Amino acid sequence: MASACPTIVLVPLCVPGHLPSMFEAGKRLLNSTGGAMSLTVLFTQMTMAANLMSDVDDLIRKESDSGLDIHFHHLPAVQLPTDSPGAENFIMRFIQLHAPHVKAALSSLSSPVAAVVADYFCTTLFDVTRELALPVYAYFSSSASMLALILRLPVLDEEVTGDLVDMEGAVNVPGMPPVPAALLPAPLLTKGPNYEWMVYHGKRLMEAAGIIVYTVAELEPAVLAAIADGLCVPGRRAPTVYTVSPALPVKAAPGDGEQPHECVAWLDAQPPASVVLLCFGSMGGSFPPPQVREIADALERCGHRFLWVFRGPVPAGCGAPYPTDANVDELLPKGFLERTKDRGLVWPKWAPQKDIIAHSAIGGFVTHCGWNSVLESLWHGVPMAPWPLYAEQHLKAFELVSVMGVAVAMEVDRKRGNYVEAAELERAVKSVMGGSEEGQKAREKAAEAQALCRNAVEEGGSSYVSLQKLAREMADRCGAA
């Protein structure tokens, strides 16, 4: 891992919603240093899900040939927690167990450490960086609105004695319209171990040298201004926020003899902006039979072309919530594939969403509102119909519709497991594909957002300037040239 120049150390959470954006931001930060620093990545061993470590291996193979000064280090495996009451509690205990390994890895580096950048789920590791007298920055893979809520949460916790889901009225998230309490992220709805960890994050984030947020400043100006003005934590000022909007390269066109992915090949035969995409992220796409029937009925009735990424159930006892490939003959209503074969494709496996959403045939996107998916959609100017499923996705859906205006509203019954009736999905699909005034406005706003995203990463754009500022700050801290 030796390198002659100072290094920036990334400590990611090795899951699909966090690692890719953090690593891309790290590479862009590295480029912003002009060769004055290297990049070192510390990987936790996510042994409970082999596919996650396979993704890490693929990333390492790809980047080893990039020519960039990047070094990879696998931390020793730990004994997994076995009695955690929820995902947040499991992750926090899992990260805590790595503290001595992170300390040992940082201490053994032959290069001086310019800064440590830790995923915001890794704030327990701030104690390690303090012991080693190293500056630590938090990496926030979600929206600025979610950051504002987490920073505000410790004060909100003192203001509300019971569960937040039962509070009267709306929640004040600085820079946002009043947020209905029912739309808060799942871990915040009821007080307990998972909730307590989120409060903990809100407190620890205030200790960071800065917070790197994977967003576009022009998409969330009011929220970012509220954070900067100290409205989230009265009497205190939050660390400086650095926005690093996405740079989303799409896989190059197939070379001679190489075939495009089957989904992309199917899209090649469709008219421009004629296909609605239904895709629900790495942990989504698997629905109970009644919901599958509602989706199928909606797509059959709506009349639009569609590409539905449909996944099978999560295997029992696997330790990770990732779906399997779907058996469409078993799971779909009888005759559905035959009746829709001329205008629809049901894809039962993992799909290359970046390549699909970039295709000119895509005209709308029914999405779970994972932040990576949202930014991919906006990068290509595709309007959305939000179908939030877990974590903070209900808050993001609210922001996409009520603040950004890039999505059409869809009624999702959270009390019934985020159930959507066929008639409601049919209406939302027709709307997002341009069949209503709301849909037309969402399309216009999505086109404006596309321009904002792309301008942000150009020289002189907000994300470009933010990365340059961050690189200079890190270089100054370690005395790099």
Q: What is the pLDDT of residues 282-329, one digit of tens each?
A: 888 899 999 999 999 999 999 999 999 999 988 776 556 788 899 999
- Using the structure block, give the residue that is written with the tokens 């009497």: 235
Average pLDDT over residues 218-232: 97
- The pLDDT assigned to 248 comes to 63
pLDDT at 154 over 80: yes
Q: State percent of the chain over pLDDT 70.
A: 94
- At residue 4 the predicted structure's pLDDT band, cuts being 50, 70 and 90, is low
pLDDT at 425 over 80: yes
pLDDT at 459 over 50: yes
- At residue 481 the predicted structure's pLDDT band, cuts being 50, 70 and 90, is very low
Q: Which member of 55, 98, 101, 119 is catalytic?
A: 119
Say whether 304 is catalytic. Answer: no
Number of other residues whose CB lies within 10 A of the CB of residue 160 = 15
- The pLDDT assigned to 83 comes to 80
Long-range contacts of 348-354 (CB under 8 A, 24+ apart): 348/310, 348/311, 348/312, 349/311, 349/325, 351/261, 351/263, 351/279, 351/309, 352/251, 352/261, 352/263, 352/264, 353/279, 353/309, 354/248, 354/250, 354/251
Report CA Rg, the chain.
Answer: 22
Say whether 18 is catalytic. Answer: yes
Average pLDDT over residues 394-402: 98
- The pLDDT assigned to 1 comes to 43
pLDDT at 113 over 50: yes
Lowest mean pLDDT among 146-160, 381-395, 447-461, 467-481: 467-481
pLDDT at 414 over 50: yes
pLDDT at 81 over 90: no
Average pLDDT over residues 156-179: 94
pLDDT at 347 over 80: yes
